Structure 1
Amino acid sequence: MRAVAKYGALTTLSSVVLSALVVVPVDAADAGGAHTTTSAARGVARAAERAATAGITFGACPAAERLPDPLVCGTVEVPLDYSEPDGRTISLTVSRVPASGTPERRQGALVFNPGGPGASGMYFPMVAEVPHWKRIAEAYDLIGYAPRGVGRSAPLSCEDPADHVKAPTQSPVHPSASYKRERIAEAKAYARGCARAAGPALPHYNSLNNARDLEVLRAALGEQKLTFMGASYGTYFGALYATLFPSHVARMVFDSAVNPDPEQIWYRNNLDQSVAFERRWEDFRTWVAKHDATYHLGTDAEQVAQSYEKVRAGVAHKPAGGKVGPGQLQAAMLGAGYYDDYWPTRAAALSEYLKGNQQPLIAQASPRPAAAAESENAGAVYTAVECNDAPWPTDFAVWDRDNTALARRAPFETWDNAWMNLPCAYWTAPRGRPAEVRATPGQLPPTLILAAERDAATPYEGALELHKRLAGSALVTERDAGTHGVTGGANACATAYLEDYLLHGKAPARGADCAPHAEPDPASPRPTDRLVELRRRLNPGIRL
Structure 2
Amino acid sequence: MTAILRRTAATGGLLLSLLLLPAAVAPPTADADAAPTALRWGPCPAPTPNANGTPFPRDPRQRCTTLRVPRDYRHPGAGTLTLTVSRIRTADPAHRRGDLVVVPGGPGGSGLDYPGEATAFLPPDVLRSYDLIGFDERGVGNSTPVHCDLPAEERAAELNYPFPAPDGSITANLDLARRIADACAAASGPYLADITTADSARDLDRIRAALGVHRISYLGSSYATYLGQVYASLFPTRAEHLVLDSTVAPGGEQQAIGLFSEGTEEAFPALARYLAARDDTLHLGATPEAVRAAYLRLAEELDRAPFGLPDGRTLTGNTLRAVVYASLTKPRYYPLAATVLRMAATRTAPPPGGSPGSGLPSVIPDNFVAAQSAVICGDSAWPRDPAVYAARTAADRQRYPLTAGMSGNVWPCAFWHYRPEEPPVRPNPDGPRNILMLQNRYDASTPYSGARQARSAFGHRAAMVTVDATGHGVDFTDPRIRDPLTAFLLDGRLPA
Using structure 1 for the length normalisation, give the TM-score.
0.78
Match of 2:313 in 1: 323
Cα deviations by residue, 1:348-389 (Å, 9 ceiling, x for unpaired): 4433664534358974346844x8463x32222222111111
Return the alpha-carbon distance in structure 2 between the equivalents of residues 475 and 39 of structure 1: 31
Residue 276 of structure 2 is aligned to residue 293 of structure 1: no
> Aligned AA for 2:379?
D
Residue 60 of structure 2 is aligned to residue 80 of structure 1: no
The answer as to whether partners of 2:83 and 2:137 remain within 8 angstroms in 1 is yes
Return the alpha-carbon distance in structure 1 between the equivalents of residues 46 and 342 of structure 2: 40
Q: Where in structure 2 are the equivalents of 1:107-256 lying within 5 Å?
A: 107-127=97-117, 129-130=119-120, 132-160=122-150, 162-166=152-156, 175-176=166-167, 179-256=169-246
The answer as to whether partners of 1:168 and 1:324 remain within 8 angstroms in 2 is no
Secondary structure in 1 matching 2:102: strand
1:485 to partner: Cα distance: 1.1
1:132 to partner: Cα distance: 4.9
Match of 1:473 in 2: 462
Residue 87 of structure 2 is aligned to residue 99 of structure 1: no
Q: Where in structure 2 are the equivalents of 1:255-270 lying within 5 Å?
A: 255-260=245-250, 264-270=251-257
Return the alpha-carbon distance in structure 2 between the equivalents of residues 416 and 175 of structure 1: 12
1:35 to partner: Cα distance: 11
> Aligned AA for 1:330?
R
Match of 2:38 in 1: 54
Match of 1:461 in 2: 449
Match of 2:494 in 1: 507
Return the alpha-carbon distance in structure 2 between the equivalents of residues 285 and 196 of structure 1: 45
Give 1:332's match in structure 2, choosing from 310, 323, 330: 323
Alignment size in residue pairs = 466
Secondary structure in 1 matching 2:405: helix
The answer as to whether partners of 2:266 and 2:443 remain within 8 angstroms in 1 is no
More off after superposition, 327-336 vs 400-409: 327-336
Structure 1 vs Structure 2 CA RMSD: 3.0
Secondary structure in 2 matching 1:111: strand
Secondary structure in 1 matching 2:465: strand
1:452 to partner: Cα distance: 1.2
Return the alpha-carbon distance in structure 2 between the equivalents of residues 208 and 40 of structure 1: 10
Q: Where in structure 2 are the equivalents of 1:409-420 lying within 5 Å?
A: 409-419=399-409
Distance 1:158 1:413, change over 3 A: farther
Cα deviations by residue, 1:43-84 (Å, 9 ceiling, x for unpaired): x847x31xx2322x2222224456241222222221110122
Distance 1:324 1:330, change over 3 A: farther
Distance 1:173 1:283, change over 3 A: farther
The answer as to whether partners of 2:108 and 2:372 remain within 8 angstroms in 1 is yes
Secondary structure in 1 matching 2:83: strand
Distance 1:225 1:133, change over 3 A: same
1:159 to partner: Cα distance: 3.8
The answer as to whether partners of 1:92 and 1:146 remain within 8 angstroms in 2 is yes
> Aligned AA for 1:500?
A
The answer as to whether partners of 1:77 and 1:92 remain within 8 angstroms in 2 is yes
Secondary structure in 1 matching 2:133: strand
> Aligned AA for 1:458?
T
1:121 to partner: Cα distance: 1.7
Residue 289 of structure 2 is aligned to residue 305 of structure 1: no
Give 2:414's match in structure 1, choosing from 425, 432, 448: 425
Return the alpha-carbon distance in structure 2 between the equivalents of residues 135 and 340 of structure 1: 27
Secondary structure in 2 matching 1:86: coil
Residue 356 of structure 2 is aligned to residue 364 of structure 1: yes
Secondary structure in 2 matching 1:453: strand
Among all aligned residue pairs of Structure 1 and Structure 2, give the percentage whose two residues are the same amino acid: 32
Return the alpha-carbon distance in structure 2 between the equivalents of residues 76 and 109 of structure 1: 17
The answer as to whether partners of 1:240 and 1:437 remain within 8 angstroms in 2 is yes
1:489 to partner: Cα distance: 2.7
Give 1:381's match in structure 2, choosing from 347, 368, 371: 371
1:494 to partner: Cα distance: 0.7
Return the alpha-carbon distance in structure 1 between the equivalents of residues 163 and 25 of structure 2: 44
Return the alpha-carbon distance in structure 2 between the equivalents of residues 41 and 185 of structure 1: 39
Match of 2:425 in 1: 435
Cα deviations by residue, 1:304-342 (Å, 9 ceiling, x for unpaired): 235434377359433222214224333322221211221
Match of 2:62 in 1: 71
Normalized per residue, which structure has more helix?
1
Distance 1:53 1:269, change over 3 A: closer
Return the alpha-carbon distance in structure 2 between the equivalents of residues 174 and 303 of structure 1: 25
> Aligned AA for 2:43?
A
> Aligned AA for 1:271?
G
Cα deviations by residue, 1:126-158 (Å, 9 ceiling, x for unpaired): 146426532211111111111111112121222
The answer as to whether partners of 1:500 and 1:506 remain within 8 angstroms in 2 is yes
Q: Where in structure 2 are the equivalents of 1:388-399 lying within 5 Å?
A: 388-399=378-389
Match of 1:279 in 2: 266
1:38 to partner: Cα distance: 5.3
1:212 to partner: Cα distance: 0.6
1:109 to partner: Cα distance: 1.0
Return the alpha-carbon distance in structure 2 between the equivalents of residues 507 and 360 of structure 1: 52
Return the alpha-carbon distance in structure 2 between the equivalents of residues 277 and 39 of structure 1: 37
Match of 2:335 in 1: 344
> Aligned AA for 2:414?
A
> Aligned AA for 1:483?
G
The answer as to whether partners of 1:113 and 1:229 remain within 8 angstroms in 2 is yes
The answer as to whether partners of 1:323 and 1:362 remain within 8 angstroms in 2 is no
More off after superposition, 128-137 vs 217-226: 128-137
The answer as to whether partners of 2:381 and 2:419 remain within 8 angstroms in 1 is no
More off after superposition, 313-322 vs 143-152: 313-322
Return the alpha-carbon distance in structure 2 between the equivalents of residues 379 and 500 of structure 1: 38
Return the alpha-carbon distance in structure 2 between the equivalents of residues 302 and 198 of structure 1: 48
Q: Which runs of 5+ in 1 are unaligned?
A: 11-33, 510-544
Secondary structure in 1 matching 2:454: helix
The answer as to whether partners of 1:79 and 1:85 remain within 8 angstroms in 2 is yes
Secondary structure in 1 matching 2:85: strand
Return the alpha-carbon distance in structure 1 between the equivalents of residues 155 and 351 of structure 2: 19
Return the alpha-carbon distance in structure 2 between the equivalents of residues 373 and 423 of structure 1: 16
Return the alpha-carbon distance in structure 1 between the equivalents of residues 129 and 330 of structure 2: 29
Distance 1:348 1:187, change over 3 A: closer
Secondary structure in 2 matching 1:351: helix
1:504 to partner: Cα distance: 1.7
The answer as to whether partners of 2:102 and 2:134 remain within 8 angstroms in 1 is yes
Return the alpha-carbon distance in structure 2 between the equivalents of residues 200 and 296 of structure 1: 53
> Aligned AA for 1:318?
F
1:265 to partner: Cα distance: 4.4
